Structure formats: C-alpha cells, structure tokens
C-alpha cells in the first residue's frame, strides 16, 4: 500500500502555489511529474538506501531540487514530506511525525 501523509500533500500544494506565481503551466507539469515520481518510488522503494543520519528507516528520493522523504517496509510505503534541498532537512525531519 502507498500512503501520502497530509503534510506531504501540503508541501506539494505549497510548492505548486510558489511555482504558479511565475508559471501556472509549469506548476501543473511539476505536480504531475512529482506524482509520477512518487508512484515510481512507491513501486521501487528499496532502490533508495535508508538514510542513517536521519530518523530510523527514513529514505529519500530526489525530484529536481526536492527530496521526497518516505519510509517503507515489506508491504507499505509512507510518504512523509517533500522538501527543497536548500532547506534544513534535518530540522524538518525532527518536526515530522
């Protein structure tokens, strides 16, 4: 099962709103691409290693300048956040969940 937490959806909405200020069309294509990437990662979660410097079991995949933060086990993939790489990801992770 693939689950996208509300915070990750909120992150994506904020990113889209930011991009849409300059280009509504690019915002739409960005969101579509990000969702495609999330589905792909959800189908292939073990391609990305566990990030030992962060909370136990946390993995990340990149899409452009964004990190898709998630956890996975044998049956489930849970997407937690979508964060720009320029942000303090460690601090954001501490606030997550």
Tens-place pLDDT, residues 43-97: 999 999 998 887 677 999 999 999 999 999 988 999 999 999 999 888 888 877 6
Q: Provide the CATH number for the domain around residue 34.
A: 3.30.2310.20
Q: Which domain holds residue 43?
A: 2-95
Q: What is the pTM of this model?
A: 0.91
Domain total in the chain: 1
What element of type H or E holds 9?
helix 6-20
Q: Three-state SS across 60-96? A: EEEECCEEEEEEECCCCEEEEEEEECCCCHHHHHHHC
Q: Is the pLDDT of residue 27 over 80?
A: yes
């Amino acid at each position: 099962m693939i689950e996208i937490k509300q915070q990750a959806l909120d992150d994506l909405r904020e990113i889209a709103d930011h991009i849409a200020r300059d280009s509504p069309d690019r915002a739409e294509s960005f969101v579509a691409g990000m969702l495609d990437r999330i589905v792909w990662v959800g189908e292939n979660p073990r391609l990305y290693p566990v990030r030992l410097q962060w909370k136990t079991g946390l993995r990340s995949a990149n899409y452009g300048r964004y990190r898709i933060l998630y956890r996975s086990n044998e049956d489930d993939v849970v997407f937690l956040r979508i964060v720009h790489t320029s942000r303090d990801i460690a601090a954001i992770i501490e606030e997550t969940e």
